[in-house]
Structure 1
């Protein structure tokens, strides 16, 4: 059996779809459906069973979980709201829960592939390499992810199972509707254009021109390809960047939306004071370690990915077709 925590979420449901495409459905989905909108992400997917995340976490904590034979855990479950400043909740959910699940997998030699985040690099002023010198968490979410990465580093020399963490950069694509303010800018700006006939971007800040802030945007299909590459290479462990290695300005990606829709203008708005000092104006994955691991499946060109996603937003409101 495969376990996908966060299976009703954005990347988790894309993992399940990819498994289904391969004829695999012996899957335990673990998630928290307090936000009932996430049920929509599971429609059309095939899996063996569902379990509430709190029940699952409690059974991991007291080691009472008995799921039979498990051949891999894809751990995508986490609170990913970077604006949530409840540090106690973040550490309990994202850090302690992940530690308990990792211990379970280590004791049973189960491959453990988990979601980290590029937010662990903070402002990025020290670079985006998978090493402590580059790491600087700016909010409780990033801190919880960074602390778990550090725990993983301590455990790796003791592990007899595969352990891989993926530092996701700016992921976009189908099934992110429930994320609201945490949804990708592509998602947000597509619907802003439909509603208002224009797209707003931040004015320049920290030396960047209007709309010139740069992010490493990666299509969710490419993210799943990276995850499955490592699953298929159990000899590989460690923490790896999951980005394209190429940054694009906000101006670049919104032009793809405007071109697809055949309408719209860009309007620049003042940079919010609340985000000053807490905002990543530049992200670009250093993919050296990923390439050295042999990853050879490439990445979708940004313009092609944006327009494919716009087509899905138009045809099926952003859900799997």
Structure 2
């Protein structure tokens, strides 16, 4: 059996979909369906079982808990970068992850988990997987950073595979339930449909209007990296998962406009609540990913946005 925590979420459900395409259906999805809209991410998937996160956590240390699990994809987390309840975030993102890691280690089960590029903060020290580059600036980022630190401390004593993936700005199908936390591509598409105009932030942190840059990575590429590591159990460590090329929000907006064949851009004031906790620039250093043998190309914004909007707007089933 394969366990996918956060399996009804964005990346988790795409992982389950990709596993299904491989013929894998002996999958346990763990999630919290308080937001029932997430069920749409599971409706077309084939799984063996579903378990609520609270029940799953309560059973983790049970001696006979799931004897035949061969891998855990740990995607479940509070992913809101605007959440400042530190107790809640650390309980969900740090404590939960530690307990699950320790269970996997005791059973010699592969543990493949979601970290985040948010650990790099404003990026002023670069985007290498190195402590000198890491300076989280929001609570979500700190929880991910601290778990990576825990991995660094204990990994030498773990005999099974442990691999963490620092996702950069992931976009693609099955993110519609995320609301405000959905990708800018999702929101830009809806803005064009609703009023024919994409809204971008005015300049900040030395960047001109709409010229803040992120490393936008298509979800299929993120999933492919996860599955590559599943197929290469000898590889472990923490890796950046992005394209390796930052692109400005203006370019993303233009790609959405080009797909629709209409629309323009409106610049809006930078939100007060994001000042001091916003990444204006990210670009993954993927050299370590390449060094361990992952050599596939990543979709650029133009290609990825086109594929996503075909799906999002019903052009592809």
The verdict on a shared fold, with TM-score over 0.5 as the criterion, is yes
Counterpart residue number, 2:47: 47
Segments of structure 1 that go 5 or more residues without pairing to the other structure are none
Using the alignment, how far apart are the partners of 1:122 and 1:224 within structure 2?
A: 24
Indicate whether 1:34 and 2:46 are aligned.
no
Using the alignment, how far apart are the partners of 2:161 and 2:62 within structure 1?
A: 20
Query: Which 4+ runs in 1 deviate beyond 6 A?
Result: none
Equivalent residues of 1:59, 1:65 under 8 A apart: no
Counterpart residue number, 2:207: 208
Indicate whether 1:302 and 2:301 are aligned.
yes
Counterpart residue number, 1:257: 256
The Cα offsets for residues 103-148 of structure 1, whole Å up to 9 and x where unpaired, read as 0000011000000000011111111010110111111111111110
Q: Do the aligned partners of residues 169 and 65 (structure 1) sit closer, same or farther apart at CA in structure 2, a change above 3 Å counting?
A: farther
Equivalent residues of 1:32, 1:52 under 8 A apart: yes
Counterpart residue number, 1:67: 66
Equivalent residues of 2:243, 2:300 under 8 A apart: no
Structure 1 position 68, deviation (Å): 2.6
Counterpart residue number, 1:274: 273
Using the alignment, how far apart are the partners of 1:213 and 1:37 within structure 2?
A: 31
Counterpart residue number, 2:241: 242
Using the alignment, how far apart are the partners of 1:18 and 1:65 within structure 2?
A: 29
SS of 2:313's partner is helix
Counterpart residue number, 1:57: 57
SS of 2:174's partner is coil
Segments of structure 2 that go 5 or more residues without pairing to the other structure are none
Using the alignment, how far apart are the partners of 1:275 and 1:24 within structure 2?
A: 41
The Cα offsets for residues 260-311 of structure 1, whole Å up to 9 and x where unpaired, read as 1011000111111221111100000011111111111111122011011111
Counterpart residue number, 1:109: 108
Structure-1-length-normalised TM-score: 0.97
Using the alignment, how far apart are the partners of 1:276 and 1:65 within structure 2?
A: 48
Equivalent residues of 1:256, 1:306 under 8 A apart: yes
Structure 1 position 63, deviation (Å): 3.2
Counterpart residue number, 1:139: 138
Using the alignment, how far apart are the partners of 2:222 and 2:158 within structure 1?
A: 25
Structure 1 position 64, deviation (Å): 5.0
Structure 1 position 65, deviation (Å): 5.9
SS of 2:160's partner is coil
Counterpart residue number, 2:176: 177
Using the alignment, how far apart are the partners of 1:132 and 1:122 within structure 2?
A: 12
Equivalent residues of 2:239, 2:288 under 8 A apart: yes
Indicate whether 1:188 and 2:195 are aligned.
no
Using the alignment, how far apart are the partners of 2:307 and 2:102 within structure 1?
A: 40
Using the alignment, how far apart are the partners of 2:98 and 2:142 within structure 1?
A: 15
Equivalent residues of 1:32, 1:53 under 8 A apart: yes
SS of 1:114's partner is strand
Structure-2-length-normalised TM-score: 0.98
Counterpart residue number, 1:24: 24
Using the alignment, how far apart are the partners of 1:289 and 1:63 within structure 2?
A: 37
